[in-house]
Amino acid sequence: MTDEPGQAGTIEVIGSVKKLRERLAKAFAETKLGVAIPAERLPRRRFDLTPLLDPQHVLAVDPGDSIARVKLTMIMLSNWDNGLTQQFQIPFEDNGTTLHEALAAQDGARNPLLSSLRPMCARIDVRFQRYPGNGRARRCR
């Protein structure tokens, strides 16, 4: 949830079941905020993915968020008219090799990240630090 003082806030629910998103947002607003909200759909948010093409780009994290590791694990590239689409991915659990390093080793000078293709979709995996007493760390995409 984002909120600006003096302005209306936004509750954004992300999930694969569309029917539950609206119900969850309404339930949260009524239960936690004590307000009724209209069923208003937000426009799809657009992000500039071109910085992910740069192998020197750092995925910044806040140390207070208990994040152990962040990794770009998939990128989908397309030409400008979307006639050609290519997807490249690497396992999160890999030995620390980045997607950029894997593509550079595989394709050398023909690295698709260095071409004129534009990024249209990406997946960034996040591994959280382990909580004391819990054997597993949380991970999300």
- Assess whether pLDDT exceeds 70 at residue 1: no
Q: Quick one: 54 and 115 in the same domain?
A: yes
pLDDT > 70 in the chain, percent: 86
Q: What is the mean pLDDT of residues 55-64?
A: 85
- Assess whether pLDDT exceeds 50 at residue 132: yes
Q: What is the mean pLDDT of residues 101-130?
A: 86
Q: Quick one: 17 and 69 in the same domain?
A: no
Q: Quick one: 35 and 93 in the same domain?
A: no
Q: Quick one: 90 and 36 in the same domain?
A: no
What CA–CA distances, in Å, run from 124 to 15, 33, 46, 79, 119? 16, 31, 16, 22, 13
Question: Could you report the per-residue pLDDT of 64-80, keeping only the tens digit for each?
Answer: 888 888 899 999 999 87
Q: Quick one: 38 and 79 in the same domain?
A: no
Q: Quick one: 80 and 20 in the same domain?
A: no
In the chain, the number of structural domains is: 2
Q: Quick one: 24 and 83 in the same domain?
A: no
Domain carrying residue 96 = 50-140
pTM of the full structure: 0.66
Q: Quick one: 94 and 111 in the same domain?
A: yes
Q: Quick one: 31 and 80 in the same domain?
A: no
Q: Quick one: 90 and 113 in the same domain?
A: yes
Tell me the average pLDDT of the chain. Answer: 80
Burial of 99 (0-12, 13-18, 19+ CB in 10 A): buried
Q: Quick one: 90 and 129 in the same domain?
A: yes
pLDDT at 6: 53
